[in-house]
Amino acid sequence: MAWTWFHRLGSPPYIYGLAARLTPWFAWSAAVLIIGGLYGGLVLAPPDYQQGDDFRIIYVHAPSAWMSLMVYSTMAISAGVGLIWRIKIAHAVAAGCAPIGASFTFAALVTGSLWGERMWGTYWEWDPRLTSELILLFLYLGYMGLRSAMDDTQRADRASAVLAVVGIVNVPIIHYSVLWWNSLHQAPSVMQLAKPTMPPSMLIPLLMMLFGFTVLFAALLLVRLRAEILNRERAASWIREAVTQ
Amino acid sequence: MNTSVIEASSTGTSALEAARLVLARDIRLALRKRGQLVQPLAFFAIVTTLFPLGISPELSRLRDVAPGVLWVAALLSSLLALEFLFRDDAQDGTLEQHVLSGQSLTWLLFAKTVAHWLLTGLPLAVMAPLAGLSLGVPAAALSGIVASVAIGSVALSLIGSIGAALTLGVKRSGALLSLLTLPLSMPVLIFGARATELAIKGAGFAPPLYLLGALAVLGITLAPLAAAAAVRISLE
């Protein structure tokens, strides 16, 4: 069994080149999926019988919320891989994930609060999903804060990796405790999203957006990863060749 | 991992014995600096005093917010106390000696965290009823407050030990420490405040107490491991 493909994944010059080659593919498919999904969701899909056109914000809100968790898992898993097998590239991936994930989380919060204004009549409701999302944003901010507090990249990598792994253990606990806290304090929320009954004309654009956001994340991550590698390997000789090519 | 076991057995001190020694040392040192021990408690008392001044002196209104006030104050006070957990030992090199001792760092840090809880968490649990009474909590509910603060502060000390270990090498780490620790502590706040609220209403407060206990057990199992990894990274 040839493991060379696996070992190559730990080599910065190889990853740098690979990321450069893959970025356009992800970026273009993200553009196609998101434009198609937006057209399908904002123009083609019929208005909701209860919420009218207001429901259309779901095409940005749900994918953002989904990405906020997926990016956090990606970050924690690659941080864990970097911590256990001491792979520098894995740390660079984790470091690249954090700002993207924080942005998606922020987008989910803003769109959720705008949606809340239309549905509940208030910008902020202590809804369990909004609350967990807010705590998730704090987790991202803590991770980025810890990274920026340390000058030495290697130490920042490993310390923030410990935090990311501790965080991923805590995310389900936070989620369920918030859910439980909320169900005791607040009447069931006004909004009922009957997902299974969503007709295909609404569902297909949503799936396209979900997939498009995932691919967008991959494209953004690859760009950030290249920047991370450039920054970390700035003393290496291959960088000069790669940049002047 | 293996080498530390071999070295520990060659020096003739078992991991538990070493942990006991660290625990005794930390408590002895802390008792010689009593002023430092009183600070988080005084902070707790001051914060709980601020709320009646800010909200209203009516006990009936204060009773409604008492669980939240008590628990937020306890959370902040435990955050303040975290500074004493590793700071002095990191400055005078004791922590490095712990790392180099060949003993299991996980056990040593667990012992330090236990000492920290005995010196800050337990006094907080003893003091919480006084603050509760001043907020109009009925006397019958005080046992629930003591129990929830006592168990919850175990979890808080353990979660905090990870944050404190991660920020060891960071200058002026106070704000960063709270940014790291508070989001992870929110489940403790939720269940602790819930237990207190049920106790004030005179209902059975056991279920949230069990959940607090579960968080504490999970913390005992995992937090020292993460803290040990963090201390090693910070002292590199």
DSSP B211: H
For residue A154, the enclosing domain spans: 25-42+52-244
Q: Which residues of B45-67 are buried (b: 16+ CB within 10 A; e: fewer)?
A: bebbeebbeeeeeeeeebbebbb
**A47 domain residue, yes or no:** no
Question: What ipTM was predicted for this assembly?
Answer: 0.87
CA-derived radius of gyration, chain A: 20
Average pLDDT, chain B: 89
A149/B194 CB distance under 8 A: no
Highest mean pLDDT pick, A8-22, A51-65, B100-114: B100-114
- Find the mean pLDDT for residues B131-150: 92
> From CA B217, how far away is CA B226, in angstroms rounded?
15
At residue A46, the pLDDT reads 83
Say whether pLDDT at A186 is over 80.
Answer: no
Q: Which of A74-78, B35-39, B155-159 has the lowest mean pLDDT?
A: B35-39
- Find the mean pLDDT for residues A176-193: 62
Provide φ and ψ at A48, rounded to 5°. -70, 145
To probe the interface with A, which of B166, B173, B176 has the most A CB atoms within 10 Å? B166
- Chain A residue with minimum CA distance to B193: A181
Q: Which of A153-157, A189-193, B212-216 has the lowest mean pLDDT?
A: A189-193
A173/B230 CB distance under 8 A: no
- Residue type for position A123: Y
At residue A86, the pLDDT reads 87
| Residue in the block written with tokens 């999926």 | A33
A10 close to B (CB below 8 A): no
A142 close to B (CB below 8 A): yes
> From CA B51, how far away is CA B70, in angstroms rounded?
10
**A117 domain residue, yes or no:** yes
**A8 domain residue, yes or no:** no
Q: Which of A31-35, A52-56, A99-103, B7-11 has the lowest mean pLDDT?
A: B7-11
Q: Which residues of B130-146 are buried (b: 16+ CB within 10 A; e: fewer)?
A: ebbbbbbbeeebbebbb
Taken in order A177, B204, B44, B28, the sign of the CA dihedral is: negative
Q: Concatenated DSSP letters for B38-81? A: HHHHHHHHHHHHHHHHHS-S-HHHHHHHHHHHHHHHHHHHHHHH
Which residue in B109, B120, B129, B130 sits closest to B156, CA to CA? B120
Say whether pLDDT at A1 is over 60.
Answer: no
The reported pTM is 0.89
Task: Please name the helix (run of DSSP H) or strand (run of DSSP E) that holds residue A122, with its range, or none.
Answer: none
**A11 domain residue, yes or no:** no
**A17 domain residue, yes or no:** no
Comparing CB atoms, the residue among B190, B229, B236 nearest residue A155 is B236
A39 close to B (CB below 8 A): no
pLDDT tens digits along B62-91: 888 999 999 999 999 999 989 888 988 988
Number of domains making up chain A: 1
A159/B215 CB distance under 8 A: no
Query: From the CA of A159, how many Å to the nearest CA of chain B?
Result: 6
Q: What is the dihedral of CA B17, B21, B26, B27, to 10 degrees?
A: 90
**A6 domain residue, yes or no:** no
**A86 domain residue, yes or no:** yes
Kindly list the residues from chain B whose CB atom is less than 8 angstroms away from the CB atom of residue A184.
Answer: 194
Kindly list the residues from chain B whose CB atom is less than 8 angstroms away from the CB atom of residue A174.
Answer: 183-184, 186-187
B162/A178 CB distance under 8 A: no
**pLDDT band at B101; cut points 50, 70, 90:** confident
Is residue A128 within 8 A of residue A182, CB to CB? The reply is yes
Highest mean pLDDT pick, A15-19, A105-109, A122-126, B3-7: A105-109
CB contacts < 8 A (A, B): 72
Other CB atoms within a 10 A radius of the CB of residue B172 amount to 8
**A146 domain residue, yes or no:** yes
